[in-house]
Structure 1
Amino acid sequence: MIAAVAGCAEAPRQLEVTGGYVRLSAVPRNPAAAYFTIQNGPSATRLITVTSEAVIRSEMHESRTNAGGMSSMKPLQDVPVSANGTLEFKPGGRHVMLFNVNPGVKPGYRMLFSFTFANGQRLQRRLPVIGAGDPAPGTE
């Protein structure tokens, strides 16, 4: 009887990257931006890089608006991911700036990304690419 109950136990949550997309810039030579969600497992870690072979350089950034309504953006060296936590990279907050995107990348393409964490894990995910004025996936 105990084995049957143990078999029904929920599996521990694992580190994973979910959802997400890349928004191309309206100006071809300006950076694009990547957004996604990280769901973490039982041990805290840090996201240390997000890279893609379809870009020359990628940087994690955070946008903020101060009390006076002025917006600013600062680069992030790494981002803590709490144990069993959820970390969102979304418009108006954390995001990944993508510099010099390969000109062959167009809306409808799925860009391959590598997400590297301080605990040694590396996850690869393909994120859909949308145009500058297109609605984010799942919001239409």
Structure 2
Amino acid sequence: MKVGSMVAAALLLAGCSGGAEPSVSDAWVRLAAVPERPAAGYFTLHGGAKAATLAQVAAAGVARVELHESRATANGMMAMDAVASVPVPAGGTVAFKPGGYHAMLFGVPGSVKPGATLTMTFRFGDGRAVEVPAKVVSAGEAGPE
């Protein structure tokens, strides 16, 4: 009887340990006001059953994407710093939004226009990749927040 209870408990725990993986929602890209300047990408990361790390973002046709974090300087000006990765807590969320974390998209093709969808690929530290469509908006347009 004890062995049966132990097996049942082990099966229950095994079923729980494979919980949700990290995911991404609400992705959108704001094009630059000046052609040839970088666009900005925003989205929400959702942690899975275990803590994860966002290691890289790529976008279809875009030369390169960098992760950045905005911050206020001592004199009240805004600055941004490149970050190598972003931790995603288990069960938590990390919002990439104007004034905080964001992705800078360098070399966006001229064919990418407002109203289009750009496929973004999010790579996590464990090698997992998640593809998400991102709505493209113009420089002056509010995002779909």
Flag whether TM exceeds 0.5 (same fold): yes
Structure 1 distance, partners of 2:134, 2:125, is: 22
1:21 maps to 28
- As a proportion of its length, which structure holds more strand? 1
- As a proportion of its length, which structure holds more helix? 2
Compute the displacement of 1:68 (Å): 2.4
Structure 2 distance, partners of 1:13, 1:114, is: 18
Amino acid at match of 1:134: E
Q: What RMSD in Å do the two structures reach over aligned CA positions?
A: 1.6
1:80 maps to 87
Correspondence 1:90 to 2:108: no
Structure 1 distance, partners of 2:98, 2:116, is: 20
Aligned partner (choices 85, 90, 106) of residue 113 of structure 2: 106
Structure 2 distance, partners of 1:50, 1:14, is: 17
Q: Report Cα offsets for 1:24-64 as digits up to 9, x if no partner.
A: 00101110000000111110110000001221111000110
Q: Secondary structure in 1 aligned to 2:50?
A: coil
Structure 2 distance, partners of 1:53, 1:110, is: 10
Give the structure-2-normalised TM-score.
0.84
Q: Which structure: larger Rg?
A: 2
Q: Report Cα offsets for 1:67-89 as digits up to 9, x if no partner.
A: 42021111010111111110111
Point out 4+ residue stretches in structure 1 off by more than 3 angstroms.
Answer: none
1:133 maps to 140
Aligned length: 129
Aligned partner (choices 26, 42, 45) of residue 35 of structure 1: 42
Aligned partner (choices 45, 53, 59) of residue 52 of structure 1: 59
Structure 1 distance, partners of 2:28, 2:66, is: 16
Give the structure-1-normalised TM-score.
0.87
**Structure 2 unmatched ranges of 5 or more:** 1-18
Compute the displacement of 1:13 (Å): 4.2
